[in-house]
Copies of this chain bind each other. A is one copy, B any other.
Amino acid sequence: MNLKLTQRQKTAELFRDILPADSILSLDEELKPYECDGMMAHNIVPLLVLLPEEIDQVSKVLRICYDNEIPVVARGAGTGLSGGAIPHEDGVILSLARFNKILEIDSENCTARVQPGVRNLAITEAAKPHGLYYAPDPSSQIACTIGGNVAENAGGVHCLKYGLTVNNILELTIVTIDGETVKVGSGALDSPGLDLLALMTGSEGMLGVIIDIVVKLLPQPTDIIVLLTPFDSIEVAGNAVADIIAAGVIPAGLEMMDNPSLVAAEDFVHAGYPTDAEAILLCELDGEAEDIAADQEVVEAVLRKAGAKEIRVAESVEERLKFWAGRKAAFPAIGRISPDYLCMDGTIPRKHLAQVLKDTHALSEHYGLRVANVFHAGDGNLHPLILYNASEPGELEKAEELGGKILETCVQYGGTITGEHGVGIEKINQMCVQFTSDELEVFHAVKAAFDNKGLLNPGKAVPTLHRCAEFGAMHVHHGQLPHPELERF
């Protein structure tokens, strides 16, 4: 402990010349709030927390870390669910919290230039007077910051129609580990050379520190309607989702909740959900009134054909917001009925929805842990919530193992182990299932091109081959091989 203190003080000294005293946190009580992110099951106290305010300071901090081989974990609001911002015990947390300015709203080009510590929702609030908004809307959008959204390639309810973060940004300024500033992407349609904008997006802090972001803004839709449809069977609801997309309508949002989720949400926020339904589908349509009317006709016909007996259209803005409030509060609502829960984040091709749900149910019974399901159904992004009690010895481990199996099932059906939450530390073992050694080696080579000393967010997102060997994972690629471990059930 005393050794740690000495290390802490010695490291803090390195930054005294470039940062004011209040930008260097080194006391236990100052460091404590940074010991975990939204994945609260794991925590580590960082060596130091640094809070620079200027790009030049970030650049110098990184250069010092580079020269002294100090690990660096960049952090926004710390709302991430996969542990991407969990500290390194011998490293610094580089907080971007003070980069919280909206630098420009360009209403003519429909773009905004923002600093990484700006909250997601603050962008839309600033764009509103111009009739514009920023489309990606993670459930945490009140709190989460755009820098973290870029680092994790965040999604949200509206990413079915409007895409993930990567589809809604144009340009990034990055500070590299050796302190240089580079721009990637451009304000125009395409950018020549390699697509480093996309490479950087979702790279979970492993390639550089994002210090400036140009986002796309969209015109606010003239009208919005939301349909709520109860179903007697989750499989029938799943098929209706595929049918809507196949009919050529891309709703602004298309979300499904199973009975445990919708009951928990209803008890929590009184959204007006029918608690006797096995599943509900929320379908949002946006655009001009005439466009919506045309799409609504198609969607309602598809829903009825699929077996819907009732379709409720939100009759006021209040009711529409209530419908969504239930969905957006699904996670905390589950938190009220279970001491703890793990939120998973797999994606699958839509057509395998029913089968994956069946397998998830079987796994849930096998492990003796309840699973509630909330889906970005339209894009095949599942959020199984595993209910457990951390104070029961061994139950966290069991929940994590079950979570891993669910993700491996997603891979088995040609899906992936993450939709929008990132890999972080949560799913790092499942990366060994998703990718071959050759593929992981390519990731490592690209990582080394940006960070040859491996200082940026070490231990996250891309496992070492050694780790995969220890995990003993059988690579299951794109559903082409059966998974022998799963066959045991």
Contacts and interface: CB of A to CB of B under 8 A. Distances in A.
Interface of A: 108-110, 153, 155, 159, 164, 166-167, 171, 176, 180-184, 186-199, 201-203, 206-207, 219, 221-222, 242, 245-248, 287-291, 293-295, 298, 347-351, 376, 379-381, 410, 414-420, 422-423, 427, 431, 434-436, 438-439, 442-443, 445-450, 461-462, 477-478
Contacts of A414: 186-188
A130 to B, nearest CB: 10
A179 to B, nearest CB: 10
Contacts of A350: 108-109
16 contacts: A108-B242, A108-B351, A109-B350, A109-B351, A159-B189, A176-B438, A176-B442, A182-B439, A188-B414, A189-B376, A192-B418, A192-B427, A193-B431, A290-B291, A290-B294, A442-B449
B164 A167 contact: no
Given A288-B295, A351-B109, A194 B187 contact: no
Contacts of A155: 189-190
A418 B202 CA distance: 25
A195 B198 contact: yes
Contacts of A379: 189
A474 B24 CA distance: 39
A109 B478 CA distance: 14
A183 B427 contact: no
B196 A202 contact: no
Chain B CB count within 10 A is highest, among A153, A190, A293, for A190
A387 B327 CA distance: 59
Copies in the complex: 2
B423 A193 contact: yes
Contacts of A349: 109, 187-188
B419 A190 contact: yes
Nearest to A439: B182
The 6 closest A-B pairs by CB, nearest first: A198-B198, A290-B294, A188-B347, A445-B449, A219-B248, A449-B449
Contacts of A245: 110
B442 A188 contact: no
A285 to B, nearest CB: 11
Contacts of A423: 192-193
Given A415-B188, A478-B187, A194 B288 contact: no
A416 B167 contact: no
Contacts of A207: 194
Given A194-B206, A199-B446, A446-B449, 14 more contacts: A159-B189, A184-B442, A188-B348, A189-B381, A189-B416, A190-B420, A193-B461, A194-B202, A194-B443, A194-B446, A195-B198, A219-B247, A222-B248, A449-B449
Nearest to A445: B449
A189 B419 contact: yes
B351 A190 contact: no
A405 B84 CA distance: 45
A166 B450 CA distance: 23
A418 B294 contact: no
Nearest to A200: B195
Contact of A291 (B221, B291, B449): B291
A222 to B, nearest CB: 7
A343 to B, nearest CB: 16
Given A248-B288, A290-B294, A442-B176, A166 B195 contact: yes
A422 B192 CA distance: 7
B478 A438 contact: no
B416 A188 contact: yes
A246 B217 CA distance: 11
Contacts of A182: 436, 438-439, 442
Chain B CB count within 10 A is highest, among A184, A294, A376, for A294
A442 B203 CA distance: 15
A317 B176 CA distance: 54
Given A109-B349, A186-B478, A193 B291 contact: no
